[in-house]
Amino acid sequence: MTALLELRNVETYYGPIMAIRGVSLEVRDKQIVTLLGANGAGKTTVLKTISGAMDPQKGTVTLAGEDIQSRDPDAVARLGVAHVPEGREVFPFLSVDENLRIGAFSRHDGEIDEDLELVYEYFPVLTELRKLPAGFLSGGQQQMLAIGRALMLRPSVMLLDEPSLGLSPRLVAEIAGIIKRLNTEQDVTILLVEQNAKMALEISDYGYVMESGRVVMEDTSGRLQNATDIQEFYLGMKDEGVRGRRRWKQRKTWR
């Protein structure tokens, strides 16, 4: 598999503060790649840099070999990159149907209605709510709407920022299953930012771990699941042999 999306030595700032520090990663075609890390690690900034919401001061972002860094968000979207931001950001006073159609803003083909019905097949709960203002939906329903809106773009790459945030375990499992289906059934390549490491590693192919704005670890998702540091700091698992040791005194191997 070839790399569809690549970042090389990217640095992005919030004013004078460097948010990501020389980040390099790649997302191969038709893979799900997850980006793990604590709050403030720089994960959301990576997605914003890819989608054009923030401009990098250094480094390159390429899509299918073409440089896309510093392009406007609408230009990046037209190239097939759909960004589902943290917090869903649906249009609360527009109906579910209208929100979904906005996702196809750059399309001029005659298959938008067909794709609309495809979204309702993936998210049947939205079918009966299609005329309801999006602001009346629950958090889980709004998350489904945000993902469905991104799907209306017919993206080659989907950037998902904390899709499980604030959802019940049942809805987390449902969203995870839909993400996996979109990847396998619609061939959508996905870069997934998640604090729910267990869910993310179960559905992804490869993973990167960020800390303080830099990538500190990467491997296949299976190997990351078995890595001591990941189990201890992200999966909440502790070896019986270290019982009684204070967690804050332990060092990660990447330090």
What pLDDT, in 10s, does the model give residues 92-135?
999 999 999 999 988 888 889 999 999 999 999 999 999 999 99
Mean pLDDT of 199-204: 95
Using the structure block, give the residue that is written with the tokens 């579910």.
96
Residue 72 has pLDDT above 80, yes or no: yes
Cα separations (Å) of 182 from 43, 63, 65, 154, 164?
A: 22, 20, 23, 11, 16
For position 70, what pLDDT does the model report?
A: 85
For position 245, what pLDDT does the model report?
A: 46
Residue 242 has pLDDT above 70, yes or no: no
- The C-alpha atoms of residue 122 and residue 17 are separated, in whole angstroms, by 41
CB 33 within 8 A of CB 12: no
How would residue 165 be classed by pLDDT, with cut points 50, 70 and 90? confident
How is residue 137 written in tokens?
Answer: 């939906």
How would residue 252 be classed by pLDDT, with cut points 50, 70 and 90? low
CB 35 within 8 A of CB 193: yes
- The C-alpha atoms of residue 103 and residue 143 are separated, in whole angstroms, by 14
Q: What sign for the dihedral angle of Cα 48, 203, 208, 166?
A: positive
Q: What is the mean pLDDT of the chain?
A: 89
- The C-alpha atoms of residue 24 and residue 147 are separated, in whole angstroms, by 26
- The C-alpha atoms of residue 130 and residue 95 are separated, in whole angstroms, by 6
Using the structure block, give the residue that is written with the tokens 């604090």.
195
What pLDDT, in 10s, does the model give residues 174-193?
999 999 999 999 999 999 99
Residue 1 has pLDDT above 90, yes or no: no
In the chain, the domains with their CATH numbers are: 3-249 (3.40.50.300)
What proportion of the chain, given as a percentage, has pLDDT over 90? 74
C-alpha distance across the termini of the chain, in Å: 31
How would residue 254 be classed by pLDDT, with cut points 50, 70 and 90? low
How would residue 233 be classed by pLDDT, with cut points 50, 70 and 90? confident
How would residue 76 be classed by pLDDT, with cut points 50, 70 and 90? very high
- The C-alpha atoms of residue 24 and residue 41 are separated, in whole angstroms, by 14
For position 14, what pLDDT does the model report?
A: 92
For position 65, what pLDDT does the model report?
A: 92
> Residue type for 177, please?
G
Burial class (CB in 10 A: 0-12, 13-18, 19+), 243: exposed
For position 160, what pLDDT does the model report?
A: 96
CB-facing half-sphere around the CA of 189: CA atoms within 13 A: 19
* Triad 229, 190, 40: Cα angle to 5°: 45
Strand pairing partners for 218? 208
